[in-house]
Amino acid sequence: MSVAWLDRLKDLAANREPCVIVTVARVRGSAPREVGARMIVTAADTSGSIGGGQLEFRCIQRAAEMLRDSQGEKLPQLQSFPLGPECGQCCGGVVEVLFDHVGRQPGGWVAQLLHGSMEPASTVLATTLDGEPATTVVSVGVPSGNAALDVAVNELLATSSPAACRKIGADRPVDVLLEPLRPMPFDVVLFGAGHVGSALVSVLAGLDCTVYWIDSRAGLLPANLPANVRALPVSDPVPLVRDMPSGASFLVMTHSHPLDLALCEEILARNDFAYCGLIGSRSKRNRFEKRLRAVLGDRFDPERLTCPVGVAGIRGKKPPEIAIAVAAELLCIQSARQQRLAERGRADRELKLVGK
């Protein structure tokens, strides 16, 4: 999956268009967006969001001022926004926002990212927030000159954690914003290009995920697809199950019940998935359960099969309604995965501190 904001930076650099990168660096209390949320502001428009409302409005104003006042690149600036007193937002927390001006010819870490050959899956942006903000690009296996920072980067990537603000260093610890270039994998494998499958792709197109869209019917998968969707037209979809990424969420909603069953058998047999959803009624589930028990035996865990699909409370049967319910369920599962990994990372750090 590509990094949307980095793709946007590449386009702007190619057109020699200055911009300001606006990033949520630190949060205290309640805030509309998480650490690492980012938008890019140019003289003509904005892309991305740091939460909307007065906070975003003021940040866009500040970025516009930087663009008007600067002929070249300016040093990064960190600004604090108390949401209640200054912005009139009911969140009530305090958000610290980093403003990075990028000129017509990008330099520093931006140039390194745009022109470098680093692998996104093993690269982290590290921004020191205490004192004058400064960003460096840290890649696993390439010493940064700061051993404590290298350890923190390795830990962040090992737990697939999202962006985080960490204390780095022993004697004089400083706050460092760590942002993995490759976010935690969120892979969705969708079997079926019918009305519900098509509606679901439209919803997932706006999320930070990679969608593998698979169908056996010739010509049914559209030619023009969202950037995060990969079409895989094959005559027999079942063998593809083994090639899909570990930790993926599978959705089975084909035109054929026998094909649905064969796909479920293959998915449940590999048992390294985040979710296996089967579209259908409770009676369909009951029929499938009998067959799956007969084929998989003790390997079949009914708790690993979700049918019907979608969050509870949405009763509509129109394809867009089903798609929204299913997308919401996928987001719940992904959030729970991120929470578990974050807790595991905190526990590992606490054990290391106790060991010292």
Res 353 pLDDT > 80: no
CA dist 339 to 113, 286, 332, 336, Å? 29, 32, 11, 5
% residues pLDDT > 70 (the chain): 90
212 has a pLDDT exceeding 90: yes
Specify the pLDDT at position 6: 86
Q: 128 pLDDT exceeds 50? A: yes
The pLDDT of residue 281:
92
Confidence grade of residue 349 (pLDDT, cut at 50, 70, 90): low
d(CA 263, CA 251): 10
Answer yes or no: is pLDDT of 346 > 80.
Answer: no
For residues 323-331, give the mean pLDDT: 96
Cα–Cα distance list, 20 to 38, 51, 188 (Å): 10, 17, 33
What global pTM score does this model have?
0.72
Please report which confidence band the pLDDT of residue 1 belongs to, taking 50, 70 and 90 as the band edges: very low
Name the strands in the sheet holding 164-168, side by side, starting at the edge strand that comes first in the sequence. Answer: 134-139, 123-128, 174-180, 164-168
Torsion over CA of 184, 299, 261 and 203, rounded to 10 degrees?
Answer: -20
7-10 contacts at long range (C-beta below 8 A, 24 or more positions apart): 8/40, 8/47, 8/48, 9/40, 9/102, 9/106, 9/110, 9/113, 9/114, 10/114
Q: pLDDT, tens digit, for every residue of 220-255?
A: 999 899 888 999 999 999 999 999 998 899 999 999
12-37 burial: b if 16+ Cβ within 10 Å, else e? bbeeeebbbbbbbbbbeeebbbebbb
345 vs 18, residue with greater confidence: 18
pLDDT at residue 326 above 90?
yes
Mean pLDDT across the chain, nearest whole number?
A: 88
Q: What percent of the chain has pLDDT over 90?
A: 58
Predicted confidence band of residue 328 (pLDDT cuts 50, 70, 90):
very high
DSSP per-residue string spanning 124-155:
EEEEE-SSS-EEEEEETTS--S-HHHHHHHHH
Query: What mean pLDDT is predicted for residues 321-349?
Result: 81
